[in-house]
Structure 1
Amino acid sequence: MTPAVPFFRRALLWAERHRRWLVVAAVAVVALLAFEALRLVLSEVHLKDVRLALHAVPPSRIAAALGLTVVSYLALTGYDSVALRAIGRPMPWRIAAEGSFTSYTLSHNLGLSLLTGGSARYRVYSAAGLDLGDVAQVSAIAGITFWAGVLATAGLAMAAGGAPVDVAGWRIEGGSTRGIGIALIAVVAILPLLRLTGRHAISSGGMRLPVPTLGQQAVLLAVSLVDMIAASAALFVLMPGLGPTAFPAFFIAYAVAIVVALVTHVPGGLGVFETVVLALVPGDHPAVFAGLLLYRLIYYLLPLLAAGVGIALREGWRLRHPIGRGLGIADRAGQLVAPTAVTALVFLGGFVLLVSGALPGVKGRLNPLDDLVPLPFIEGSHFAGSLVGTALLLVAPALNARLRSGFEAARVLLIGGALFSLVKGFDYEEAALQVVILGALQYAKPSFYRRGGLGSGPLDRRWLGAAAVAIGLSVWAGFFAYKRVPYSDDLWWEFALHANAPRFLRASVGASVLLGAVAMWHLLTGRGVTPPAQTLDPAVATVALAAATRTDANLAFTGDKSFIVSASGDAFLMYRVQGRTWVVMGDPVGPEAAWSELVWNVRRQCDAAGGRLCFYQASQAMLPLIVELGLEAIKYGEEAQVPLERFTLAGPKAKNLRHALRRGEEAGLAFSVVPAAQVPGIMDELRAVSDAWLDDKAGAEKRFSLGPFDPDYLARFDCAVVRQGGEAGGRIVAFANLWTLPDGEELSCDLMRHLPDAPYGTMDMMFVKLFEWGRDQGYTRFDLGMAPLSGLTGGRLAPLWAKLGRALFENGERLYGFAGLRAFKAKFQPEWEPRYIATPRRLGMAHALIDLARLVSA
């Protein structure tokens, strides 16, 4: 082996470990290069020329661009509506429209469509009952349709025209134009051909993607053509001096710009899209750039503002009118998406303040203002406006975490931003935007119910990075506006009504210093996390269990876990560290309002320790938070829930259960429930049963996901016992400790053990009697526990994690007797609920699963 081979291998491993930051760095470099290219393209363009070009755009063209934008976004809703039917999960149009609109408004502006748009789409559709796989299929079909629309529209434009096309001085002759167009259309024809050849699905990497029917494909293609034509035409009508015959060449330039922007992953394609269009579209650069600015406002920012305000207002309405509200899909979806929408609005408000502070004020407004307000007030308001904008960027994450402190801070900052906008230059449009955002925020006030300081929200390096990018964009705008102002040290100390460049310099430095101070404070003070507790405060346990809905919350008493407690002391999260993996057991215990605080707290502690985070047996309610954490959810198995009111021994399905009861009665078996206070008196008998059971099994006692045989632990709970030879003096042949919760809804058992020579049907009899006893006590359901690996395959087409998970847990199943569990539990006709494991992606997943297998099998 040559010396170069180990070097490259180490380099690849290093790149894999730091892949996330390498991607971020690459995107940042591309963005910087794009803005440098934009600066070079606009080197001879001045702000005054752009402003004149903006004023020269006729209102009729702006109205046309607005109308075409509405048509484009309406067409986008068709992607999701047809995709939902294609995967066999049709939804009402209003649900598909909400999922589409919220997804595309976020992904268009923030980029990283799978993370931003995909997360928003999941939040909407999960409220309608779709799982992560369904949402992934919808996103995939919508993405394929988008690219098909780009190719088909470009192909039709080139094939139908057949005339030479000029793009930035590059001439494509007529014959070549028609040939390229036909080739593009042929690429789009691949999907119909797949369906015609009998392919109903495509499998890749473990994901099965349905191929829409020919009718559905026709509708999707029509929708895509309408979307692409409307979106490009919205920019075309804002371009100066372009007649209808120039649209084919213009669309090619538009398509290239869209593709380049998407491939680079720069948020919103900001800078990249503009640079490509300026380079490819002929015309006066100031006028073209003015059209691009209007397009960015009309097609990107206005829909984001409309979506954010609409979602915030609906969430406020839901919380103010709880009677008859909150049960519908739209209400549940709005509840999930509202924090993200409000966060985006507040971030947008801060960004607008920063950019406004970097640009010169309007002379026609500054002169009258000078007669009303002293110059120091104008100077101070300009500087304060930029600081407020920076603060809004930093407060936005606290809103996303539903912190009341974030709401209070954002409200004060938005009021200050509106006032400073008026005093610094009578920017009433900017002030109106701040007021609109403030109104939406205020109306959604009940959404922000979590207690805790601003530092308890998930403010991390990603938010600081986003704020830095926003400040960098405002600085770029300032340098573009004042490119003709020669720099001198005296600029810093120049104070005059029209001294815009000095104000820009001072405001930019102030915003940068504020951002640097916040970053330094987080670096020096840590992340403000609550230290984990090795024991659980009984007062916290009492309050949290009162709000719990899953009886496995009682695993908190096994004595082997660490805990993270919410700031208000009403909820906790339990976990253990195995190797480098922090394994969280189940869902957080307590009100769902506290879950976000707890999972972000454990995430920060895990990151600080250089560990890997893993959630074990998480429910569907945890999936939105798992998506936010950037983890990958894996279906681990299913949990059996028996509705006690419907349970019956009548009918052919219960034949085996009736037979087991008769056999048990003939063998002299008797069932009873021993209260917790009396359990210590039978502990020796229980230990004899447990020891015999363990001797008969391969493996040792376990504690993490099951309770151990520990006298102190068992004495906390009532115990179901089956005796042979009479209820009073017979020997105990089987037992199970019972888990309950204060709400009296769910009943379950934890440690289930029996003698190897117990009569046939002993456990069946015990469960039937437990169901009847629980129903008599007023419980509504019985949790039979997990059926591990239920629904998980390890076949050739299964994803890697499914194969690895099956291989790893097969050993644990043999050790602990999981084989046949689903068949045993299915006899009681339960309802099955999925449970998930959430792990890091790629190599981190394999390491986390190995550590998890060691933990649950130990």
Structure 2
Amino acid sequence: MKSFREVLRRVQIVKLFTALYRFKLLQIMIPAAVIVFIYLEGQNEFRRINWVRTLHILHHIKPTTVFLLLGFALMSVAAISVYDFVLRRHFRIPTSLWDTFRYSWIANTSNSVIGFSGIAGAALRTFLYRKRQIPMQTITASIAFLSTITITGLSLLSWAGIFGILPIQILIRVHPWTLYAVWITALYLPGYVILQRTSFYTKWLNRNLPRMNAATIAASIGASLLEWVLAGISFWLIGSCLLPGLSLTEALGIYTISAITGLLSMAPGGIGGFDLTALLGLQLLGYPPDKTAAVLVLFRILYYFFPWMIGLVLAAYDFARDRDNEKERNYEGFESVLNSWQKVWHYPNQFGLLGELGAWSLGKLVFVSGFILLLSAATPGLLYRLEFTGELLSAPLMRLSHQLSVIIGLLLIVLSWGISHRVKRAYQLTLSLLCAGALFTFAKAFDFEEAIFLLIVALLLWISRNRFFRVGAPFSKGKAVLWGLVTFVAAYVYDLLASGLRPAYLKHWPSYAKVSWLINPAQHAAAAIAGLLVAWLLISLILILRPEHLSNKGASEAELHKLRLFLEHERGNLLTHMLFAGDKSFFWACNDQVVIPYAVIRNKLVVLGDPIGHEDLISEAIQECQRFADLYDLSVVFYQVSPHYFPIYLENGYRFFKLGEDALVPLKPFTLIGKQNASLRSVNNRFDREGFRFEVAQPPHESHLIERLREISRNWLKGKKEKGFSLGWFEESYLQLSTITLLISPEGEIIAFASLAPSYDHGETLSVDLMRHDFNTPNGTMDHLFVCLLKWAKEQDYLYFSLGMAPLSSVGQAQAAIREEKLAHFVFKHGGYWYGFEGLRKYKEKFSPAWEPRYLAYPTSVSLPILLLELVRLIARRPKKGID
């Protein structure tokens, strides 16, 4: 029975990790729950909306009107940068005006679209300002001040609603709870003014920085009011274009309550809460649901989506500016030798801004292009355009163009995955399909707006063509199912919008009877099915064929022979002998002067141990391996690395997680004499008296010996399957390369064995590989075998003997250790039920080893918890040998 103190300690550890993750979980779960609640509450409102009619309304807005609305929306978003200019002046942040504006745009637009509770904006501001060597204390203080000031403008608008300046009563009468939300928001401003004058606020926010004076606070509140008022005016301008008679005060009143509702939801951009409240408010004014939905959709696109896309461009430009400057300097050196056509062809490469648009954002643009093609095919074109197109082209050609648009739309949705992963073949096919899609959408109904958009995306792809260099990317069965489901949903939405719904709201058109529908409902369904079949065929080809897929093929006999010759003049490590198991592939770097053994798990290329080769070439070899892995969209991680190459890993962008410690027994001072080794001496003497023998078998081994060892191994495993990668396993061809030590009973029966693994370090270090025993062996069998191994290795003039790694040993003990290491320490202390971590460490301590740490080196872009799970899967995976 556990003591009370032990139970209390476990409870404290659990509380620690609960506290660490609680805040993050709440930041995700609360918005998700609110969105679900809003959806359930607003189902009736959403059902009243005819989304086909809404799309038709958006489709027929004049382009000049859209551009004017977009211009004002961009101006409204730009005004948010006033916050950053105020902070720049107060904290004396040494950045240029352009840098300040750019950082503000990137952080604010990303936070509006993807930032839960301001996380994205704070993270981006921190990253961008840290690049300019701004002190972390200044960054933290400015972000903390910004997070407290942004609501003050909305608080002023709430007071305007309470005093009747803005008409908000129409919504409050329907939903009285919104009155409490308005009052809470209104009281925020006076509460903030009182709080910021307290000593607590000064210590928490300013610390050793300049105190917030009245001018700074007033300017910040003014910036907040400007942000909310301009956003509300953008909402009103969009609404007034579609909802005649909508006044500015009515729009601002609805916008204020909607913004408060969205703020309470904690969702990015207030999505869900803002939209439902705004829809309800506009409909209470007597406007039809379809038009109010069009207002919300257009507001989201102009005020959120387009500014965010511009922010992605600015972010990509900022992250790659230094590299682009270097490329431009190199470009100037050979520009003079280009002829005129070559200069035109290479001209886009000089524009880092467009060239670095980013594969991720381009992938999303291609995805949107596919949906635009489907929506264009599902919604009717203007009648005069149909008449004009009908005079130029035949009806069969227009039908074919329509059906091909559907197929191309679904294919673009699938290929957006390849664009996001920078696959060169996906780029080539996507570029062709975009151009073809523009042609067909133009031919089916003279829809030049969609054609222009597709051509713009194609142009951006062409400008960024140098970014698409990968020959492949991981594509699992799960991804295939996911993309198959996405295409199915897209085809279903297309068929739902297109079949039978379009003519219902166009019957009142006087010229409608002059033009018959080119595509009937049955043909819509046929087009959707044909598109699905082609898309699923493409997904199947990507999954099944994958000609450029990097897999775990292992090492062939020729590669193993090459490794043997290589190790004759290069120094190995404790893991080198495991390479001859044949389950690892080899990457030869620096003209075959460095070998990097690896296996692939999901989107990771996992290297076993440190690269083997001359130390001066290790950094270059790591970079070469990273470039090789990047061709297949894989991240390179190093498993069980030693501290010796820490500086090299650091300079190549790696961070570390301690996996445990390797037990290295110094053999020169090893002896059984003395009080410390009394237990080992007693076990050894007992086995000697009872007639047990220790023998060493050198390869090649006879078949009857291998069979006996196989029987012992099978009994030792007790039905469990072998592990691999970083652990040796029972394989005859592998054991034929190893020295095997045997423990033989007085009756002449082999009861235990251990295979040895040299470190290929000129005879300095020897380690144990497989170590297994039969049923019903006497107590102390493994102790005696280890003692015999150490004595024999000492006689052979080895300097060290490795007993293997003690996983999670000495991990996470420091107070400043990262969360994952503290969790690992908890597992080490209390995980004996699943694996004897602490017991294994104590067992190896009996041999007085020197402990050498082993680490996992991984890029900052890799999630450590997910990586650790993948490594468990990799080691537990059934070992596979290479082929000739």
Which of 418, 431, 454 is the equivalent residue of 1:411?
431
Deviation (angstroms), 1:592: 3.0
Residues 393-429 of structure 1, C-alpha deviations (whole Å, 9 max, x = no match): 2112212222111211111111111111211111111
Is 2:327 the counterpart of 1:322? yes
Q: Which amino acid aligns with 2:471?
A: R
Q: 2:169 aligns with which of 166, 169, 178?
A: 166
In 1, the alpha carbon distance for the partners of 2:809 and 2:455 equals: 53
Corresponding residue number in structure 2 for 1:40: 47
Among 355, 365, 380, which residue is 1:345 paired with? 365
Given residue 231 of structure 2, which amino acid in structure 1 is its aligned partner? A
Match of 1:67 in 2: 72
Amino acid at match of 1:574: Y
- Which amino acid counterpart does residue 436 of structure 2 have in structure 1? G
Query: How does the TM-score come out when normalised to structure 2?
Result: 0.56
CA distance in 2, matches of 1:420, 1:90: 52
Alignment of 1:354 onto 2:358? no
Partner of 2:462: 442
Q: Give the conservation status (yes or no) of the 8 Å contact 1:105–1:300.
A: yes
Residue of structure 2 in register with 1:284 after alignment: 287
Q: Deviations over 1:599-641 (max 9, x none)?
A: 75999xxxxxxxxx99989999999x99xxxxxx986479xxx
What amino acid does structure 2 have at the position aligned with 1:801?
E
Greater CA radius of gyration, 1 or 2? 2
**2:374/2:409 contact within 8 Å kept:** yes
- Mind listing any 5+ residue stretches in structure 1 that lack a counterpart? 1-15, 203-208, 487-494, 604-612, 627-632, 639-686, 722-733, 736-762, 764-787, 823-832
CA distance in structure 1 between the aligned counterparts of 2:355 and 2:440, rounded to whole angstroms: 32
Q: Answer whether contact 1:165 1:177 (CA < 8 A) is retained.
A: no
Can you list the C-alpha shifts for 1:730-775, whole angstroms capped at 9, x where unaligned?
xxxx99xxxxxxxxxxxxxxxxxxxxxxxxxxx9xxxxxxxxxxxx
State how far apart, in whole Å, the 2-side matches of 1:367 and 1:58 are.
Answer: 24
- Identity of counterpart residues, as a percentage? 17
Amino acid at match of 2:239: M
In structure 2, the residue matched to 1:759 is none
Shift of 1:287: 4.0
Q: What secondary structure does 2:246 align onto?
A: coil
The reply on whether 1:804 has 2:823 as its aligned counterpart is yes
Please show how residues 777-856 of structure 1 align to structure 2 within 5 Å.
794-795=814-815, 800-806=819-825, 841=865
TM-score between the two structures when normalised by the length of structure 1: 0.57
Deviations 1:695-717 (A, max 9, x none): 9999x9xx99999xx99987766
Quote how far apart the aligned CAs of 1:452 are. Answer: 3.1
Change (3 A) 1:152 1:27: closer
Matched, 1:590 2:610: no
1:252 paired residue number: 256
Residue identity opposite 2:281 in structure 1: L
Q: Does the aligned pair in 2 maintain the 1:586–1:615 contact within 8 Å?
A: yes
Moved more, 23-32 or 507-516: 23-32
CA, structure 1 residues 49+427, in 2 after alignment: closer, same or farther (shift >3 Å)? closer
Shift of 1:199: 4.2
Query: What does 1:48-127 correspond to in 2, within 5 Å?
Result: 50=57, 54=61, 59=65, 63=68, 66-73=71-78, 75=80, 78=83, 98=102, 101-102=105-106, 105=109
Matched residue, 1:300: 304
Deviations 1:275-326 (A, max 9, x none): 4422122342244334334323322343355456677899799669714489
What is the deviation of 1:70? 2.9
Please give the alpha-carbon distance, in whole angstroms, between the structure 1 residues aligned to 2:861 and 2:310: 36
CA distance in 2, matches of 1:136, 1:91: 13
Are the equivalent residues in 2 in contact too, given 1:351–1:393 (CA < 8 A)? yes
Are 2:231 and 1:231 equivalent residues in the alignment? yes
Match of 1:452 in 2: 472
- SS across alignment from 2:380: coil
- Judge which range, 176-185 or 360-369, deviates more: 176-185
The equivalent position to 2:155 in structure 1, one of 141, 152, 156, is 152
**Which one is further off, 236-245 or 592-601?**
592-601
Number of the residue aligned with 2:6: none
- Native 8 Å contact 2:431 2:461 kept in 1: yes
2:386 pairs, out of 353, 356, 366, with 366
Q: Structure 1 residues 182 and 497 mapped into 2: Cα distance closer, same or farther (>3 Å)?
A: closer
- Alpha-carbon distance change, 376 to 412 in structure 1, aligned in 2, over 3 angstroms: same
Code of the aligned partner of 1:412: S
Query: 2 CA distance for matches of 1:332 and 1:690?
Result: 60
Give, as a single letter, the amino acid of the residue that structure 2 aligns with 1:71.
S
CA distance in 1 between counterparts of 2:821 and 2:90 reads 27
Question: May I ask how many residue pairs the two structures share in their alignment?
Answer: 673
- Could you say which residue in structure 2 is the equivalent of 1:243? 247
- Counterparts in 2 of 1:465 and 1:688: CA distance versus 1, 3 Å: closer
Q: Check the 8 A contact 1:564/1:602 in 2, yes or no.
A: no
Q: Which amino acid aligns with 1:595?
A: A
Matches within 5 A, 1:193-232: 196-197=200-201, 199-200=203-204, 214=212, 222-232=222-232
Q: Distance in 2 between matches of 1:239 and 1:540?
A: 71
1:400 to 420, 434, 439: 420
Whole-angstrom CA distance in 2 between matches of 1:525 and 1:65: 45
Which 5+ residue runs of structure 2 have no aligned equivalent? 1-21, 332-349, 507-514, 611-621, 681-723, 729-737, 740-755, 767-798, 800-807, 830-837, 878-884
Distance 1:334 1:792 in 2: 45
* C-alpha spacing 1:357/1:852, structure 2 compared with 1 (3 Å): closer
Conservation of the 8 A alpha-carbon contact between 1:353 and 1:385 = yes
- Equivalent residue for 1:663? none
Q: Look up the match of 1:378.
A: 398
How far apart are the structure 1 equivalents of 2:102 and 2:850? 44
Partners of 1:397 and 1:458 within 8 A in 2 = no
| Structure 1 residue 472 displacement after superposition | 5.7
Deviations along 1:17-72, one digit per CA (max 9) or x if unpaired, are: x99999999899789869954542325994598369845x994x962552243331
Measured in 2, the distance between the counterparts of 1:554 and 1:513 equals 52
**Residue 192 of structure 1 pairs with residue 196 of structure 2:** yes
- Which residue is 1:753 aligned to? none
- 1:238 is paired with a residue whose SS is helix
Aligned residue type for 1:236? W
The change in CA–CA distance for 1:102 and 1:427 in structure 2 (over 3 A counts) is: farther
RMSD: 7.1
Displacement of 1:433: 1.1
2:556, 2:582 within 8 Å by CA — same for their partners in 1?
no
State the secondary structure of the residue aligned to 2:381. Answer: coil
Matches within 5 A, 1:737-776: none
In structure 2, the residue matched to 1:779 is none
Q: Distance in 1 between matches of 2:271 and 2:448?
A: 26
Preserved CA contact (<8 Å) 1:64 1:234: yes
Q: 2: CA distance between counterparts of 1:437 and 1:688?
A: 63
Given the superposition, is the C-alpha separation of residues 177 and 533 from structure 1 closer, same or farther in structure 2, using an over 3 Å criterion?
Answer: closer
Which residue pairs with 2:750 in the alignment? none
Contact 2:373–2:406 (CA under 8 A) maintained in structure 1: yes
In structure 2, what residue type is equivalent to 1:484?
A
Q: Give the direction of change, closer, same or farther, for the CA distance of 1:151–1:461 in structure 2 (3 Å limit).
A: farther
Q: 1:118 to 1:835 in 2, by over 3 A?
A: same
Q: Against the structure 1 CA distance between its residues 444 and 839, is the aligned structure 2 distance closer, same or farther, given a 3 Å change threshold?
A: closer
In structure 2, which of residues 595, 598, 605 is the aligned counterpart of residue 574 of structure 1? 598
Q: SS of the counterpart of 1:574? A: strand
CA distance in 1 between partners of 2:138 and 2:524 (Å): 45
Deviates more, 1:533-542 or 1:302-311: 533-542
Q: Is the 8 A contact 1:619 1:836 kept in 2?
A: no
Structure 2 vs 1, CA of residues 794 and 837 (structure 1 numbering), >3 Å: closer, same or farther?
farther
Aligned mates of 2:82, 2:572 — CA distance in 1: 41
Asked whether the 8 Å contact 1:572–1:590 carries over to 2, the reply is no
